Structure 1
Amino acid sequence: MTDSLPIIDIQPLLEGGDASAPAAQIRAACRAHGFFYIRGHGVEAALIAELERLSRAFFAQPEAWKLQWPMSAGGPAWRGYFKAGGELTSGLPDWKEGLYLGSELAPEHALVRAGTPLHGPNLWPDLPGLKEAVLAYIEAVSRAAHALLRGIALSLELPADYFDARYTADPLILFRIFNYPSRPAPSVAQWGVGEHTDYGLLTLLYQDPTGGLQVKTPAGWIEAPPVPGTLVCNIGDMLDRMTRGYYRSTPHRVRLNSSGRDRLSFPLFFDPNFAARVQPIEGIPAAADDRASRWDGASVHAFEGSYGDYLMAKVGKVFPELGQAVLAGTVPPSIPVV
């Protein structure tokens, strides 16, 4: 086990070139860490810089201004702003604030009309250019995620379209803009984000130069510092489930920000379709049960139901009051905020 994460060039996967080298590197990284950096991802540096500029402008506003677009106004779409300390990991507040976003679905979309959780229109703050930058970023990173899944399929000696054909032709895409304040945290908040694994297939993360991400390995916790020109990728619980533990979802956390400058990160969660029933890949033997060592004491292989069932059971603990209201069907439809 090394004390750093590998960097994989995925440009051949994006452009249809020889994918043998990135597929082999992905396999090694998923077996060793479940975390790696990607370059050649096709996300323009200018787009990242513009989104970072706009995000800093948003978070620099007074809290009362930002709370004009609260998550409670997003309805079951689960979109909007939460203030620092408002999100929980393992029941404890994380010291970050953020804006929940995702695929932009119109109110007349069938899933939105049905009140399907995590589907709907975004709540767009009154900040010129933010909507355009976010949607362009989601589109660019989603292209990279599709390419990366082709590489993961090949790394498992599966057809390149294995995941797209079964789970991600219409993926659930969730996007966050997080700000980790440099001001001191209250005593109850011990981490920027506490130890956890991600719930879906893939997470692709941009982090600003401040750093703070840590990854848990068999040898202990290691740093995952920013590397210019790259995104950080990690596999989630559903890929762990599909591969019967051959590829594990890896715990990670974020240190409190003591840099003196607010820290930004942009995680995009590229997940199976909400209604998909995630099944193990045939031919892969089951790994040993790891629930005793997992951060939440749960097995990703034991649940029954759709990916949406699994996801809502998890995210409902992040915002307990909102989660209970969504599951009970008592949250009103998304409310336009102007």
Structure 2
Amino acid sequence: MNRTHTGFGTLPIVDIGGLYHDDPHERLITARALDRAARDAGFFYVTNHRVGRALQTALIEHAQRFFAAPDAWKMRYYIGHSSAHRGYVPEGEEVFAAGKRDRKEAFDTGRDLPLDDPDVKAGTPMLGPNVWPDQPGFREAVSGYYDAAFDLGRCLFRGFALALGLPEMHFDAYLHKPPSQLRLVHYPFDASAEDAPGIGAHTDYECFTILLPTAPGLEVMNGAGAWIDAPPLDGAFIVNIGDMLEMWTGGTYVATSHRVRKVTQERYSFPLFFACDYRTVVAPLPPFATPDACAKYPPLAVGDHLFAQTAQSFTYLKRRLERGELTLPDGSKQLSSFGQEARYAVPQSHP
């Protein structure tokens, strides 16, 4: 059983229009609604945001066009050729903690940084230039959506700050150059698929995720341990709490375990994994820094956690680890170390 999440049967819906209001009181009222949804479910819809429908449509159309291309052409942009974990992810490349490969392909992007950026020159993992396929309009559509979704994330973070009793701009200091990834994910049509678990249960590694899905398939674990459908809601994004916000709140917000069912319907999914700057060190904030919380959540560097989790789940990175070309940061956690399923587990770390 989960100490904070309720046995919800549907995801809460939060109208976040008040976060854009000039009146601080209106922003605080909305922040309190965010807080309730984060505590009760850790997964919720947000409506009345400011990410335009045209930006969403362009993103979806360009993703459809890209994934419809021949595999050989897509592999020209294989993520394993990138220095910053960007590009095409073929089926079977990504494997979660259960060791199961799933039927999906993806294209990973992030903040597009030039090669002469100081952090890129220093070899900081997960930071660098995007890989752009030779598809007219793709770069503009993806970049335009990324910028708008990132602005939404900054707005949500200010709402979370108010909800947690912090100055409204508290988290802005950690958002200069975060390794926030936008993934374009394609689940192909499979007429033989059974309605069964596909992508295994996991949490997201960052602070929170902003998701645009095109079809059902997503399931969320509630506080009673039951799996709840989280279908698309027209005009809404799905937002879920990630590992780092669980740490910052000392477990008051819990990274919600979720999975994707195998369904016959073709599906596209566009998560923006909203992170903080790579070298941000996260530990329970003062209002949540109880002895138990501090013992459960020792300080952890955001970038190290993201890189370690990624390196343990992508085949090309695991091969580099095996060859000794990469090493995991000290104290790296194993996959699925957060969320409901790990709530009472003894934390395990790599040496």
Partner deviation per Cα, 1:264-315 (whole Å, 9 max, x = no partner): 01000111111111121102254978xxxxxxxxx9724x542111112211
C-alpha separation in 2, matches of 1:184 and 1:51: 26
* Matched residue, 2:200: 194
Q: Do the aligned residues in 2 keep the contact of 1:71 with 1:79 (CA within 8 Å)? A: yes
Summarize the Cα distance change of 1:42–1:176 in structure 2 as closer, same or farther, 3 Å threshold: same
**Per the alignment, in what secondary structure is the counterpart of residue 49 of structure 1?**
helix
**Per the alignment, in what secondary structure is the counterpart of residue 121 of structure 1?**
coil
The structure 2 residue matched to 1:246, chosen from 231, 242, 252, is 252
Gaps of 5+ in 2: 1-6, 328-351
C-alpha separation in 1, matches of 2:116 and 2:297: 35
Summarize the Cα distance change of 1:61–1:154 in structure 2 as closer, same or farther, 3 Å threshold: same
Gaps of 5+ in 1: 290-298, 332-338
* Matched residue, 1:133: 141
TM-score (norm 2): 0.84
Residue 215 of structure 2 corresponds to residue 206 of structure 1:
no
The structure 2 residue matched to 1:182, chosen from 189, 192, 197, is 189
Shift of 1:15: 4.3
Q: Do the aligned residues in 1 keep the contact of 2:193 with 2:262 (CA within 8 Å)? A: no
Partner deviation per Cα, 1:102-141 (whole Å, 9 max, x = no partner): 0001111111111211111111111111100111111000
C-alpha separation in 2, matches of 1:194 and 1:252: 8
C-alpha separation in 1, matches of 2:150 and 2:74: 27
Summarize the Cα distance change of 1:3–1:276 in structure 2 as closer, same or farther, 3 Å threshold: same
C-alpha separation in 1, matches of 2:280 and 2:105: 31
Partner deviation per Cα, 1:238-281 (whole Å, 9 max, x = no partner): 1100111011111001111312xx21010001111111111211
* Matched residue, 1:315: 310
C-alpha separation in 2, matches of 1:225 and 1:287: 39
C-alpha separation in 1, matches of 2:139 and 2:248: 34
CA RMSD of aligned residues (A): 2.4
**Per the alignment, in what secondary structure is the counterpart of residue 151 of structure 1?**
helix
What letter corresponds to residue 277 of structure 1 in structure 2?
V
What letter corresponds to residue 31 of structure 1 in structure 2?
R
Residue 272 of structure 2 corresponds to residue 265 of structure 1:
no
Q: Do the aligned residues in 1 keep the contact of 2:181 with 2:273 (CA within 8 Å)? A: yes
Identity %: 38
C-alpha separation in 1, matches of 2:318 and 2:108: 14
Residue 129 of structure 2 corresponds to residue 121 of structure 1:
yes
Summarize the Cα distance change of 1:288–1:221 in structure 2 as closer, same or farther, 3 Å threshold: farther
* Matched residue, 2:108: 100
Q: Do the aligned residues in 1 keep the contact of 2:110 with 2:182 (CA within 8 Å)? A: yes
What letter corresponds to residue 243 of structure 1 in structure 2?
T
**Per the alignment, in what secondary structure is the counterpart of residue 312 of structure 2?**
coil
* Matched residue, 1:334: none
**Number of positions where the alignment pairs a residue of Structure 1 with one of Structure 2:** 315
**Per the alignment, in what secondary structure is the counterpart of residue 63 of structure 2?**
helix
Summarize the Cα distance change of 1:287–1:10 in structure 2 as closer, same or farther, 3 Å threshold: farther
* Matched residue, 2:285: 281
Summarize the Cα distance change of 1:197–1:287 in structure 2 as closer, same or farther, 3 Å threshold: farther
